[in-house]
């Protein structure tokens, strides 16, 4: 009965269903995107390196293609990740002589970037992951040691949000991070959110990346994390969901043998997660997977850069829905 029903339509009353894509997906995944998704995230095309690989050359073509596709198909757009430790070419942090940029120069670049991107997309995107992954994973330090932190100081975070609000007042602004359901990381993220709010940063949402494995998710942790973030009065988006079949620390190549049980665990985890997202749909507005189907996923090159196959998404290589989608759809009808 549900075979012909769109995932996005079935979930209309709960939240948007999104996919993070590159222009390649517009060619090979256009049909599945149009049928099942209601939100799009450009995966790299709005990062500094995507929009401005060198200081004096702006490259809007790929971001434009994605934003236009979304608009033509009535989808929302989540702009993604300018202020991040990755996705930034060295020139951003250097002066004309190749020395480390001064604080003033880096702040000026942050402002120019925000102004230009907001000027072009501020009326066409609805949400923006303004700062990505600013948390230190190890030890007691809360903030990751990045060039943004080193050159500007911890105010770089609030400044990024204030500039985004100034130039893109209609866009809802997010802080975005990974492993957010794990208690230790959750507590650090809460410290960061508190710091941002105390400094008057106009952060309006938290993006729960949700790069998961069939082995590292306790569904009660997911609920507790949602409650902790919602307590800040923020809107919540799941921004980068995928479910690896390997343990996070498994870097074996040739890969660990896959079994039916691993696919069953994956199906159950997706079903359980969607139940949690429905149960918390008063605060969860959007659920995005990082990719569309198993034929294109960043997990072919992470954590091993060796083209190891993985099958983390909700659609098979041939773009047909995995069987558990039927259950996820029926639960929403
Ligand atoms: C992180 C970033 C994304 C992307 C993915 C993997 O989670 O937020 O922008 O780079 O990793 O590709």
| pLDDT tens-digit series, residues 272-285 | 999 999 999 999 99
Q: Is the pLDDT of residue 1 over 60?
A: no
Query: Is 179 touching ligand 1 by the criterion CB < 6 Å?
Result: no
pLDDT for the residue 4? 87
Interior/surface letters 123-141, b for 16+ CB within 10 angstroms, e for the rest = eebbbbbbbbbbbeeeeee
How far does residue 299's CA lie from ligand 1's centre (Å)?
A: 10
Q: pLDDT tier at 2 (50, 70, 90 boundaries)?
A: low
Query: Is 298 touching ligand 1 by the criterion CB < 6 Å?
Result: yes
User: Closest ligand 1 atom, CA of 84?
Assistant: 8
How far does residue 277's CA lie from ligand 1's centre (Å)?
A: 21
Q: Give the global pTM.
A: 0.97
**Spatial distance between the Cα atoms of 330 and 321, rounded to a whole number of angstroms:** 14
Per-residue pLDDT reduced to its tens digit, 161-213:
999 999 999 999 999 999 999 999 999 999 999 999 999 999 999 999 999 99
């Amino acid at each position: 009965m549900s075979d012909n029903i769109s995932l996005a339509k079935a979930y209309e009353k709960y939240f948007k269903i999104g996919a993070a894509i590159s222009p390649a997906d517009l060619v090979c995944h256009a049909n599945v995107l149009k049928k099942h998704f209601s939100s799009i995230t450009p995966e790299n095309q709005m990062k500094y390196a995507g929009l401005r690989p060198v200081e004096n050359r702006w490259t809007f073509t790929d971001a434009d293609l994605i934003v236009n596709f979304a608009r033509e198909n009535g989808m929302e757009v989540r702009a993604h990740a300018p202020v991040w430790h990755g996705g930034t070419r060295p020139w951003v942090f250097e002066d004309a002589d190749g020395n480390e940029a001064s604080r003033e120069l880096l702040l000026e670049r942050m402002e120019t970037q925000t102004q230009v991107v907001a000027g072009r997309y501020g009326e066409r995107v609805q949400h923006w992951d303004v700062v990505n992954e600013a948390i230190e994973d190890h030890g007691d330090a809360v903030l990751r040691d990045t060039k943004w932190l080193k050159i500007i100081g911890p105010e770089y975070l609030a400044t990024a949000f204030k500039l985004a609000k100034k130039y893109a007042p209609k866009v809802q602004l997010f802080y975005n991070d990974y492993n957010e359901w794990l208690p230790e990381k959750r507590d650090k993220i809460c410290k960061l959110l508190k710091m941002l709010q105390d400094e008057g940063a106009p952060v309006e949402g938290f993006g729960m990346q949700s790069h998961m494995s069939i082995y590292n998710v306790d569904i009660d942790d997911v609920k507790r994390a949602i409650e902790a973030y919602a307590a800040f009065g923020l809107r919540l988006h799941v921004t980068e969901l995928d479910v690896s079949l390997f343990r996070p620390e498994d870097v074996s190549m040739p890969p660990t043998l896959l079994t039916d049980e691993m696919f069953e665990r994956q199906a159950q985890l997706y079903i359980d997660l969607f139940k949690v997202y429905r149960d918390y749909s008063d605060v969860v507005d959007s659920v995005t997977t990082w990719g569309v189907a198993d034929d294109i996923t960043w997990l072919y090159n992470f954590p091993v850069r060796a083209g190891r196959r993985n099958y983390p998404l909700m659609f098979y290589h041939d773009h047909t829905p995995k069987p558990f989608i039927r259950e996820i759809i029926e639960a929403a009808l």
